[in-house]
Amino acid sequence: MRFFVLVWMIGFSAATLQAGDWRQFRGTNGSSISTETGLPIKWSATENIAWKVKLPGRGLSSPIVVGDRIFVTCSSGFRQDRLHVVCLNATDGSVRWDRQFTATGRTMTFPKICNATPSPASDGQRVFALFSSNDLICLDLDGNLQWYRGLTYDHPNVSNSLGMASSPVVIGDTVVAQVENDSQSLATGIDVATGLSRWTIERPKRANWTSAVTLTKETGADDNLVLLQSSAGIAAIDPITGKSAWNYDAGASTIPSAVVSEGIIYLPSQGITALQPPKGSANPEVLWKGNKLGPGTASPIAYDGRLYTVNAAGVLIAADLKTGEEKWKLRLEGPFSGTPIVADGLLYIFNEKGVGQVIKPGDTSGEVVGSNDLGEMFLCTPAVSGGAIYIRSDSTLWKIAK
Amino acid sequence: MNGLQVTGAGHRIKRAMAVGLILIYATGTCTAATLEKNIAAIRAVGPEGQGHSAAIAAMKELSVGPADSLFPLLNAFDDASPLAINWLRGAVDAVADRELKSTGHLPAAKLEAFIKDTSRRAEARRLAYEWLIKVDPAAADRLIPGMIKDASPEFRRDAVQRLIKLATGAQEEKQPERALKLYHEALAGAVDDDQVKSIVTPLREMGQTIDLQKHFGFLTEWSIAGPFDNTGLKGFDTVYAPEKGIDLAATYDGKEGPVTWKKVSTADEYGVLNIAKQLSPFKGAAMYATTTFDSDKARPVEFRLGTPNAWKLWVNGKLVFARDEYHRGVQLDQYSVKTDLKKGPNVILLKVCQNEQTEEWAQDYKYQIRICDSTGAAILPSPAAATSQVVR
């Protein structure tokens, strides 16, 4: 009897939705916004660092958080073909497990990045770890392999010599992987339990590093759709059938990804284009275009009546969320690869030099209230959970907390 | 292997797993027959999720198996597909991790024997090694020195690195003859370019002549014909005359007029044949390059190619891969294509396409190609046979 009680306890703790979870790239709902409060504004290598852990390989994937467990992907070896999925305890950074696999797809990337570029995702019971080699690994929270797919193994020309970066997204019982490049592109919706593709669709033959986003009640919409962005625009797909619901074909960026807030899509397209999703199969309505709001690498954030973008020159731009009208600009210390996150009314953004900047946004201006150097190159978007910020470099995972 | 510390799971988890295992054995669910059936299910996984249903069920039982199941699992790597190997690896890691955390031990002697058995799959031997050194770090010093030409690239790399370290030490201790010997031993096994560079640099400083074309197995002498039209990228899939049959005396209608085969070679030590510089900076063009390679026996090989251009590769008239990506970077061993060579002359045909991009970074028109085994070690043409390849 005691065994079953223990199993029940373990299973319950693992599967229960945790309010503070950060389950995928840019958070559980992809907004980059956390409800956490009390995060530090100042930190250094010796101040407000709860712990730091040496990682077993390189990576710029974001950490994710499920309950009290942190999941990080890494790649190692001369060919970056050793794939790691690492689970750590949030409390002290101790390693619960490190599962390793061998890439079945191409591992070549631009030298600055590596195989562990896409961020993992979780449905609260499983972790889905996608790599640039398009190996998609599903583990339970205890590190037991559930299934393994090799998307380049299945489709040998699905690869990019610069590396792939699109992170998977979970919508209902489907995990969606978008793997697009110049030679062969596809997206597939995979049953989380079986690893079998519910659908696989051809996508534009053009290199694309953006990540899918969802139109669901969690993102303020009545729909249940996954949005696939590419150089062609953005397509709304039924996650169960893979059928197209609607399409916006005026083009879009292939690096920063769209964000959805209160059901409106803010698409990096001709700067930023705000789209009202249609009812039924009509075309989406263009609400406004802000051609001076174009983001660099970081994806936009919609927060508290403002749209925030960081352009290629490292300037933070705040615009009116309803109109796209620019409200203020603030030059930050760049360059940036990761997307900012918002918590407790502040924006946090880490540059490639290791400096985490904290910005207090106002109506007419923004102010840098913290500038904190950890001395390592950060290319990822941080995760926020349990009163802490998690940020990783090629060598270290940091927990920043008071 | 990494800088992570293996830490214990909570006592509750350990106890739950231990009790669970007892229940499994008590109910007789973990038998040799069951193990065999489960391993067969894992080995049957295929592309597109084939066999997942049975494999997922098998994994649930394999992951909670006893330590003794490690070796049937490792044995099952033999001739398994890359997908199946990762499933098996997941089971091995789950079993070994639990065993180590719950008992503090692993079957070290049996693991070491398995590692030494070179008839076993390289990936399985390496995995066994990585678990062994968690409980017996000194095993590295016993095992790695003999692995300079191992079938596992990772073992090779470790063995080469050890020799580089010894050679560097000998140099520092003013023992040049010993350093020379050690560097040459290291070079004999080195397949990774970073290690090759770190060996060749001191060897050259010591006056040694190193032929990197031969070391890596680059194909350096070609007959080349073109340009054919690739305007609008349409030439990539256009079947021009060389694809229908190679006649080195033929004249073709090319994009800019009549085209004949010209002999070209490269002196670049990394085997780069630079079409833009050695011939012409063609744009919207498709070039064909052919050579023959005499193999002393029929054998599986890897063709490793680097190019920023689109390409198709035929070996003995069979298309082995095609890739229409332009200017997304170029690296040594950018692509690896597995195929078979027959004994005697093998005809290689490469189609290399340039697009019409005008940016400065999009002007490269070049390729490098080599033939090697699965570790990356060069396979050279048969020296006794007539060949268009010059072995220097």
Nearest to B148 by CA among B185, B108, B198, B96: B185
Mutation choice for B interface testing from A79, A148, A162, A196 by most B CBs within 10 A: A148
Beta pairing class for A33-34 and A341-343: parallel
* End residue of a domain, out of A148, A183, A209: A209
**Vertex A401 angle, CA A398 and A402, to 5°:** 145
Are residues A4 and A113 both part of a single domain?
A: yes
Are residues A45 and A79 both part of a single domain?
A: no
Are residues A45 and A126 both part of a single domain?
A: no
> Which residues on adjacent β-strands are paired with residue A179?
A186
CATH number of A132's domain: 2.40.128.630
Q: Give the rounded distance of the alpha carbon of A286 from its chain centre.
A: 25
Class of domain B216-372: mainly beta
Rounded Cα distance, B391 and B382, in Å: 10
Are residues A46 and A115 both part of a single domain?
A: no
Nearest CB to A153 within list B15, B19, B82: B82
* pLDDT for res B384: 52
**pLDDT-wise least confident of A367-381, B50-64, B346-360, B371-385:** B371-385
Q: pTM for this structure? A: 0.92
* pLDDT for res A152: 98
* pLDDT for res A222: 81
User: Which domain range does residue A358 map to?
Assistant: 41-52+294-402
Q: Which of residues 306-325 of A touch B (CB under 8 A)?
A: none
Mutation choice for A interface testing from B43, B196, B325, B372 by most A CBs within 10 A: B325
**pLDDT tens-digit series, residues B197-206:** 999 999 999 9
Are residues A18 and A75 both part of a single domain?
A: yes
> Which residues on adjacent β-strands are paired with residue A385?
A388
Which residues, in sequence order, are CB contacts of A278 under 8 Å at separation 6+? A246, A284, A285
Please check whether residue A225 lies inside any domain of the structure: no
Rounded Cα distance, A241 and B129, in Å: 45
CB A114 within 8 A of CB A77: no
Number of independent structural domains in chain A = 2
Rounded Cα distance, B369 and B379, in Å: 12
- Look up tokens 């098998």; give the residue: B58
Are residues A10 and A100 both part of a single domain?
A: yes
Q: Give the rounded distance of the alpha carbon of B138 from its chain centre.
A: 28
CB B41 within 8 A of CB B58: yes
The percent of residues above 70 in pLDDT, for chain B, comes to 90
Are residues A80 and A46 both part of a single domain?
A: no
pLDDT band of residue B208 (cuts 50, 70, 90) is very high
Q: Which amino acid makes up residue A32?
A: S
**pLDDT tens-digit series, residues B140-156:** 999 999 999 999 999 99
Q: Which amino acid makes up residue A148?
A: Y
Are residues A47 and A132 both part of a single domain?
A: no
* pLDDT for res A7: 38
**pLDDT tens-digit series, residues B8-39:** 344 454 445 444 444 444 444 558 889 999 99
* pLDDT for res B199: 98
Judged by a CB distance cut-off of 8 A, whether residue A150 touches chain B is yes
Are residues A368 and A327 both part of a single domain?
A: yes
How far off is chain B from A167, nearest CA to CA, in Å?
A: 20
Sort out which chain A residues have CB atoms less than 8 A from B23's CB and list them.
3
Please check whether residue A333 lies inside any domain of the structure: yes
Helix segments in B45-107, DSSP class H: 52-62, 70-75, 82-103
Task: Give the nearest chain B residue to A189 (CA atoms).
Answer: B48
* pLDDT for res B30: 59
φ and ψ at residue B335, rounded to 5 degrees? -125, 145
Judged by a CB distance cut-off of 8 A, whether residue A12 touches chain B is no
CB contact under 8 A, B324 and A183: yes
> Which residues on adjacent β-strands are paired with residue A309?
A317
- Give the pLDDT of chain A (402 residues) as one tens digit per residue: 343 333 334 333 333 445 589 999 999 999 999 999 999 999 999 999 999 999 999 999 999 999 999 999 999 999 999 999 999 999 999 999 999 999 999 999 999 999 999 999 999 999 999 999 999 999 999 999 999 999 999 999 999 999 999 999 999 999 999 999 999 999 999 999 999 999 999 999 999 999 999 999 887 778 899 999 999 999 999 999 999 999 999 999 999 999 999 999 999 999 999 999 998 768 899 999 999 999 999 999 999 999 999 999 999 999 999 999 999 999 999 999 999 999 999 999 999 999 999 999 999 999 999 999 999 999 999 999 999 999 999 999 999 999
Sort out which chain A residues have CB atoms less than 8 A from B3's CB and list them.
54-56
Please check whether residue A157 lies inside any domain of the structure: yes
- Cβ-Cβ pairs closer than 8 A, A with B, add up to 144
* pLDDT for res A223: 86
CB contact under 8 A, A153 and B157: no
* End residue of a domain, out of A168, A186, A209: A209
> Which residues on adjacent β-strands are paired with residue A100?
A84
* pLDDT for res A220: 78
Are residues A317 and A399 both part of a single domain?
A: yes
Are residues A122 and A45 both part of a single domain?
A: no
CB A108 within 8 A of CB A160: no
CB contact under 8 A, A101 and B123: no
Task: Give the nearest chain B residue to A58 (CA atoms).
Answer: B2
Which residues, in sequence order, are CB contacts of A294 under 8 Å at separation 6+? A253, A268, A270, A271, A272, A309, A311, A312
* pLDDT for res A19: 58
SS3 of residue B88 by DSSP: helix
Read out DSSP for A144-177? -EEEEEEHHHHSTT---TT---PPPEEETTEEEE
Which residues, in sequence order, are CB contacts of A100 under 8 Å at separation 6+? A82, A83, A84, A85, B89, B93, B130
Structure tokens at A84: 């790691």
Are residues A46 and A119 both part of a single domain?
A: no
Domain locations in chain B?
11-146, 153-210, 216-372
Please check whether residue A181 lies inside any domain of the structure: yes
- pLDDT of B387 > 50? The answer is no
Task: Kindly state the average pLDDT of the residues B257-274.
Answer: 97
Distances (CA, A) of B260 to B226, B229, B250, B275: 7, 15, 6, 15
pLDDT band of residue B168 (cuts 50, 70, 90) is very high
CB A185 within 8 A of CB A164: no
* pLDDT for res B385: 46
Sort out which chain A residues have CB atoms less than 8 A from B5's CB and list them.
94-95
